[in-house]
């Protein structure tokens, strides 16, 4: 069934997109603020994430409990998240309660109470959240990679900030951020499900009537470097590795993004992938091994994450490098390309049954790519992509990229040595 997407831009700069699902019983609707951790100044690290937490603590019209009950009492759920690129707030609810969902989210963003006592309580909650991440080496190693690879660029910043930075954030900074959301930063509103576009536009025009747009989306300049960093940590048993690279947006047109997605799935997305089969199934060196790609407005990164015994780290790294080099030299194995295409398309259409997945996909495409691509468009592009073009494009991207590697390993042993030219 053809995807029916409509778009309206309000006079106050709010962009509204709807994705109509005629057979859906629910609707997922959200508001995205195109500001994340990469846009924060040095004295603001962790601010976007803190703000995401604090708007749940009460508004001028609702207490924190009333915010939760408003959606949950209708059987729905209210979610929020912060990334390096944006902050999102969305709800999924039975379709007749769409006006309620819009009212609650608009209330949170346009009328947050920003109570000082609640801010101090939530500061403690966020510090506990950071502690929980610090107990997961796989989380730490990704942040270390970003910090060294994107040094001098906002992508290097941790989303949550560290404990010292969170402790330093002030109530005055939070109030300033609130005013920026209301008066400066253009918002994106998306909905998927059985939603009437004109009804949503009317609701948003009413609920966000005070919204102004005197500014633009904050900007950041992409920078990357060849770097290696090894961090030793107490009370862990495994060595965690993340190595990867990044590409400037000038290299990442629609076809290049498609090629990288196909390469990524073949290399490390799932149990049938090359990395999983070689490093886990054949060699038994790791429980967790996968590849991943992140798309930003101005760049894309790709990398491999794995965890293994410290004495096996170099072997696992060499095997992962060998698999990538083998692909760059020889391309897909027999039958692998068709399986990869059906994998991507199957996953996309499985997600098509979920209004929540569709609305997040739509919002993140607009925020990360600058435009929305329908599922039919994506399917056509993938099916028409020649196998040789994927290999050629991947080689072109890798030849122009800068590589970095980060390791988190147990303390009390000789520190692992890695050269910045590890990929060659």
Q: Express each pLDDT in 262-282 by its tens digit.
A: 999 999 999 999 999 999 999
In-domain check, residue 216: no
Closest CA to 307 of 417, 377, 409: 409
Return the closest-CA partner of residue 119 out of 193, 185, 172, 60. Answer: 172
List, for residues 329-339, the tens digit of each pLDDT value.
999 999 999 99
Question: 134 and 85: one domain?
Answer: yes
Compute the C-alpha angle 260/319/316, nearest 5°: 110
Spatial separation of the C-alpha atoms in residues 68 and 57, rounded to whole Å: 10
Cα dihedral 337/341/343/346 (nearest 10): -160
Q: What gap in Å lies between CA 320 and CA 167, rounded to an integer? A: 40
Tokens encoding 88: 């999102």
Residue 55 forms part of a structural domain: yes
Cα 263 to Cα 194: distance, rounded to the nearest angstrom: 35
Summarised one tens digit per residue, pLDDT across range 198-253 is 999 999 999 999 998 766 766 788 999 999 999 999 999 999 999 999 999 999 99
HSE of 178, CA atoms in CB hemisphere, 13 A: 20
Pair 391, 267: CB distance under 8 Å? no
- pLDDT score at 213: 77
Is 218 inside a domain boundary?
no
What are the tens digits of pLDDT across the range 160-196?
999 999 999 999 999 999 999 999 999 999 999 999 9
Statement to judge: residues 129 and 275 lie in one domain: no
* Domain identity same for 273 and 242: yes
Residue 45, pLDDT > 70, answer: yes
Q: Which of 224, 148, 141, 136 is nearest to 407 (CA)?
A: 141
Tokens of 294: 């992140």
Six token digits for residue 280: 């886990």
Tell me the C-alpha distance between 390 and 328, whole Å.
10
Same domain, residue pair 174 and 234: no
Whether 424 is in a domain gets the answer no
Residues 327 and 188 in one domain: no
Give the number of domains in the chain: 2
Place of tokens 């015994």: 309
CATH of the domain at 315: 3.30.830.10
* Measured distance CA(351)–CA(161) in Å, rounded: 32
* Helix or strand run (H / E) with residue 173: helix 171-183
97-106, 210-219, 287-296: which has the minimum mean pLDDT? 210-219
Structure tokens at 353: 């049954």
Q: Residues 273, 325: one domain? A: yes
Q: Considering the domain boundaries, does residue 297 fall inside one?
A: yes
What dihedral angle (degrees, nearest 10) is formed by the CA atoms of 100, 101, 102, 106? 100
Identify the three-state secondary structure at position 227.
strand
Three-state SS string across 332-356, please? CCCCHHHHHHHHHHHHHHHHCCCHH
Given this model, what pLDDT does residue 1 score?
Answer: 66
203 and 232 co-located in one domain: no
Q: Indicate whether 422 belongs to any domain.
A: no
- Identify which of 29, 45, 28, 25 has the alpha carbon closest to the alpha carbon of residue 37: 45
In the predicted model, what is the mean pLDDT of the chain?
A: 96
Same domain, 281 and 365: yes
Do 187 and 264 have their domain in common?
no
Query: In Å, how far from its chain's centre is CA 262?
Result: 19
Q: How many CB atoms sit inside 10 A of residue 99's CB?
A: 14
Phi, psi for residue 240 in degrees, rounded to 5: -110, 130
Cα(44)–Cα(161) distance, integer angstroms: 9
Domain end point (choices 207, 235, 258): 207
Do 197 and 281 lie in one domain? The reply is no
Give the integer Cα–Cα distance in Å for 301 and 248: 9
- 10 Å Cβ neighbour count for 9? 12
Shared domain check, 179 and 249: no
pLDDT band, very low/low/confident/very high, at 2 (cuts 50, 70, 90): confident
Kindly give the pairing relationship between strand 77-82 and strand 87-94.
antiparallel
181 with 39, same domain?
A: yes
Q: Identify the domain containing residue 161 by its residue range.
A: 4-207
């Amino acid at each position: 069934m053809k995807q029916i997407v409509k778009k309206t831009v309000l006079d106050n700069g709010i962009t509204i997109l709807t994705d109509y699902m005629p057979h859906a019983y629910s609707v997922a609707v959200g508001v995205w603020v195109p500001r994340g951790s990469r846009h924060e100044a040095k004295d603001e690290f962790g601010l976007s994430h803190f703000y995401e937490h604090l708007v749940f603590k009460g508004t001028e019209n609702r207490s924190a409990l009333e915010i939760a009950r408003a959606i949950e009492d209708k059987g729905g759920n209210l979610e929020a998240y912060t990334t390096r690129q944006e902050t999102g707030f969305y709800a999924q609810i039975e379709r007749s309660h769409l006006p309620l969902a819009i009212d609650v989210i608009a209330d949170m963003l346009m009328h947050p109470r920003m109570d000082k006592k609640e801010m101090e309580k939530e500061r403690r909650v966020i510090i506990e959240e950071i502690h929980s991440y610090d107990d997961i080496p796989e989380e730490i190693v990704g942040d270390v990679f970003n910090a060294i690879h994107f040094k001098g660029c906002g992508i290097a910043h941790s989303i949550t900030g560290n404990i010292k930075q969170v402790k330093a954030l002030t109530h005055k900074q939070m109030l300033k951020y609130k005013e920026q959301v209301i008066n400066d930063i253009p918002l994106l509103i998306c909905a998927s499900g059985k939603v009437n576009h004109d009804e949503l536009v009317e609701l948003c025009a009413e609920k966000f009537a005070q919204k102004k747009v005197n500014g633009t989306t904050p900007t950041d300049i992409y920078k990357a470097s060849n770097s290696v960093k090894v961090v030793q940590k107490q009370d862990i048993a495994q060595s965690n590795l993340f190595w990867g690279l990044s590409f400037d947006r000038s290299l990442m047109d629609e076809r290049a993004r498609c090629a990288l997605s196909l390469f990524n799935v073949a290399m490390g997305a799932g149990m049938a992938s090359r990395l999983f089969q070689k490093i886990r199934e054949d060699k038994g060196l790791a429980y967790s091994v996968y590849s991943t790609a992140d798309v930003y407005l101005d760049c894309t990164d790709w990398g491999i994450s794995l965890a293994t015994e410290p004495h096996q780290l170099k072997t696992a790294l060499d095997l992962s490098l060998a698999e990538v080099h083998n692909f760059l030299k020889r391309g897909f194995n027999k039958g692998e390309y068709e399986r990869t295409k059906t994998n991507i398309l199957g996953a996309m259409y499985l997600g098509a049954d979920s209004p929540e997945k569709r609305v997040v996909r739509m919002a993140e495409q607009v925020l990360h790519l600058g435009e929305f691509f329908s599922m039919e468009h994506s399917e056509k592009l993938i099916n028409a992509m020649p196998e040789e073009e994927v290999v050629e494009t991947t080689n072109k991207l890798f030849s122009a990229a800068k590589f970095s590697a980060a390791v988190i390993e147990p303390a009390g042993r000789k520190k692992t040595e890695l050269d910045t030219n590890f990929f060659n």
